[in-house]
Structure 1
Amino acid sequence: MRRLAGLLAVCALLAGCGLDAAYKLPFDVGPGSIRPVPALHGVSITVGSKNFTEQILLGYIAEVALTAAGADVQDMTNIQGSPSARQALEVGDIDLYWEYTGTSWINFQQQTVPIPDERAQYDAVKKADAERFGIAWLDYSPVNDKYALATTREFADKYKLRTMSDMVALLKKDPSLGTMCMESEFISRQDGLLGAEKTYGFNVPDRDIKTFGVGAIYATLAGGRTCNFGEVFTTDGRVLTLDLAVLEDDKKTFPQYNAAVTVRTEFLDRYPQLADVLEPVSAKLTNEVILELSVRIDGDGADPAVVARDWLVKEGFVTNPSA
């Protein structure tokens, strides 16, 4: 039942992606260390992203950088879910977006065993995507946005929870405490709840799973009433602002999720300069940077596009003509 629900949700998302309009950045961008690239001048490049804070931020970082290089960038961030974003890339509705190595390995390559080493996981995904799907990966970034389960600090302290094994031991003693807030995609993914249940030897009944959108999980979990545990991303700023306790994945069920720009091979072959523009930016991104910028968006309510521009200005990649 759980897998069927997940598939139905994906079908609904594919039918309602809204990939029929694109928008431009609401501000001007000047060159910094990213100089105008003649081969990219006026080239229409549509940048996509999935529908959560980090992805939208990464999408805008790519858009600002490419705009400084002279490309005619179209914004199509906030696509609902990994399958929809990937399909949009494959069929040409978007030209590039940031993907995660673990997501491609498990979801798109249909592998069941993650590769624990970051470089080896990236190399395997890059090779498989090029051979099977004609998708190229630019160099991966230090950003490693892994799935995790979290609870409130108060709940973790009360039951002395530090790891996922601690959580499983608690639920075996008292199954009534195993209420979970999760998004539908995570519930049905092999690199999500299904894989965690297999690795740690537990099962969450459907009645104990409360389904929310990604953004709503954090606030609902912090409220401490609807669920005791929830799905989070380790680089999400709300982990800090809401003081959530992230449980260590001590049996390493969740794969490596290094972020990298993915682009159709034929598009990259036409415009290899994309790598020259985006890879230096990617190399500067870290988990700490993403957490800091995400707090500005989710905690302070800042516009993700502005946050992306300001970071690129700070790092010297671009300039702000209006400053």
Structure 2
Amino acid sequence: MTTRLVRTLTAAALVLGAAACSSGGDPLVSGTGGGGAAGGGTVVVGSANYPENVLLASIYAQALKAKGVKVEEKFNIGSREVLYGQVQSGGLTILPEYNGALLGYLDAKNTAAGTQAVNEALRTALPASLAILDSSAAEDKDSLTVSQETADRYQLHSIADLAGKAGEFTIGGPPEFKSRREQQFKEVYGLTFKEWKPTGDTTANALKDGTVQVGNVFTTDPRIVQSKLVPLADPKNLFSVQNVTPLVHKAGVDATSTAALNAVSAKLDTAGLTALMKRVSVDKEDPAAVAKDWLKANGLA
């Protein structure tokens, strides 16, 4: 065999080998099996810095581990403004998100309503490196909430009823709530509040003790019922649907991870999430233990 022929055959073999290695396809569709990450490595599950998101992240992480996926947990990181870039860069692989809130972050002027329409708009708005998986029926919406006493005194039933009265009220919520929503309240409902206070996860307590008169309380917060708080109706749909939905860095997940997360979404509903949050927020149970109980009860452990 001549030297030239040997070189030709070797080059052909290298080309065929490279082609075979590059034919894996979309990692969300045709993953490698048991590794969980598209490259067989570790997936990193992150969370925002409030109890419900930590709980959801723990559910995701434990569901993945139950399928043999290698998982690193990075919980309590911060707000969406911090987290989104980390998922986009691949520093985080998986994040529990809320579809309407994420769409509002990416495209504030989008008017999509309903889970399907919001998810279609999200898929258009997301960069090619990111994807959303199946949305759950569980929905945790933002609300403007007041105490029963404030509702009775000012005859408040909806956010629209705050018109002409908001200037008397201090409003509380997460630190980022003002930057996200102040202009929207002005444009949609004509509201300008007297003062904005960052109350974080203590907003329900601040409403109860009168520190604030209006607060951004998530609708699955069990303290709404416990403290007899009143979420105001939102007739102009300023707050869109908020289905719990996994956001993933596509290169970091395979079919095993995708199936495990979609199985969680298929079982998670609003009533169940509210019950879990009572255990975390009111009974002060460990989110990881609560997550483990839920997964076991739903056959996902």
Q: Does the TM-score normalized on the shorter chain lie above 0.5?
A: yes
Note if 1:272 corresponds to 2:255: yes
2:46 to 36, 45, 48: 48
Q: What is the aligned partner in structure 2 of residue 135 from structure 1?
A: 130
1:92-142 per-residue CA deviation (whole Å, 9 max, x = no partner) reads 2211111122222221x233133112211111102321xx35101101111
Matched ranges for 1:91-110 at <5 A: 91-107=89-105, 109-110=106-107
Note if 1:228 corresponds to 2:213: yes
Query: In structure 2, how many angstroms separate the alpha carbons of the residues matched to 1:194 and 1:240?
Result: 29
Note if 1:195 corresponds to 2:184: yes
Q: What is the aligned partner in structure 2 of residue 76 from structure 1?
A: 74
Note if 1:112 corresponds to 2:112: no
| Corresponding residue pairs, total | 267
Q: Shift of the alpha carbon at 1:182?
A: 2.4
Q: 2:234 aligns to what SS in structure 1? A: coil
Q: Which 4+ residue blocks in structure 1 deviate beyond 4 angstroms?
A: none
Q: Shift of the alpha carbon at 1:53?
A: 1.6
Query: In structure 2, how many angstroms separate the alpha carbons of the residues matched to 1:197 and 1:276?
Result: 42
2:139 to 144, 147, 162: 144
The answer as to whether partners of 2:45 and 2:61 remain within 8 angstroms in 1 is yes
Q: What is the aligned partner in structure 2 of residue 242 from structure 1?
A: 227
Alpha-carbon RMSD across the aligned residues, in angstroms, is 1.8
Q: What is the aligned partner in structure 2 of residue 16 from structure 1?
A: none
Query: In structure 1, how many angstroms separate the alpha carbons of the residues matched to 2:72 and 2:227?
Result: 34
TM-score, normalised via structure 2 length: 0.83
Specify every segment of 5 or more residues in structure 1 that has no aligned partner in the other structure, as ranges.
1-36, 319-323
Q: 2:215 aligns to what SS in structure 1? A: strand
Query: In structure 1, how many angstroms separate the alpha carbons of the residues matched to 2:185 and 2:113?
Result: 15
The answer as to whether partners of 1:196 and 1:254 remain within 8 angstroms in 2 is no
Q: 1:252 aligns to what SS in structure 2? A: coil
The answer as to whether partners of 1:46 and 1:73 remain within 8 angstroms in 2 is yes
Query: In structure 2, how many angstroms separate the alpha carbons of the residues matched to 1:79 and 1:168?
Result: 36
Query: In structure 2, how many angstroms separate the alpha carbons of the residues matched to 1:231 and 1:264?
Result: 29
Larger of the two Rg values belongs to structure: 2
Specify every segment of 5 or more residues in structure 2 that has no aligned partner in the other structure, as ranges.
1-32
1:190-223 per-residue CA deviation (whole Å, 9 max, x = no partner) reads xx23212211112124xx22222x2122211111
Q: What is the aligned partner in structure 2 of residue 209 from structure 1?
A: 196
Q: What is the aligned partner in structure 2 of residue 308 from structure 1?
A: 291
Residue identity matched to 1:113: N
Residue identity matched to 1:237: P
Note if 1:57 corresponds to 2:51: no
The answer as to whether partners of 1:56 and 1:77 remain within 8 angstroms in 2 is yes
Q: Shift of the alpha carbon at 1:263?
A: 0.9
Using a 3 Å threshold, how does the CA distance of structure 1 residues 43 and 242 change in structure 2: closer, same or farther?
A: farther
1:272-294 per-residue CA deviation (whole Å, 9 max, x = no partner) reads 22121110211211111111100
Q: Shift of the alpha carbon at 1:169?
A: 4.7
Q: What is the aligned partner in structure 2 of residue 218 from structure 1?
A: 204
Q: What is the aligned partner in structure 2 of residue 6 from structure 1?
A: none
TM-score, normalised via structure 1 length: 0.78
Query: In structure 2, how many angstroms separate the alpha carbons of the residues matched to 1:198 and 1:125?
Result: 23
Query: In structure 1, how many angstroms separate the alpha carbons of the residues matched to 2:140 and 2:214?
Result: 19
Residue identity matched to 2:108: Q
Q: What is the aligned partner in structure 1 of residue 170 from structure 2?
A: 179
Q: What is the aligned partner in structure 1 of residue 25 from structure 2?
A: none
Q: What is the aligned partner in structure 2 of residue 85 from structure 1?
A: 83
Query: In structure 1, how many angstroms separate the alpha carbons of the residues matched to 2:171 and 2:108?
Result: 26
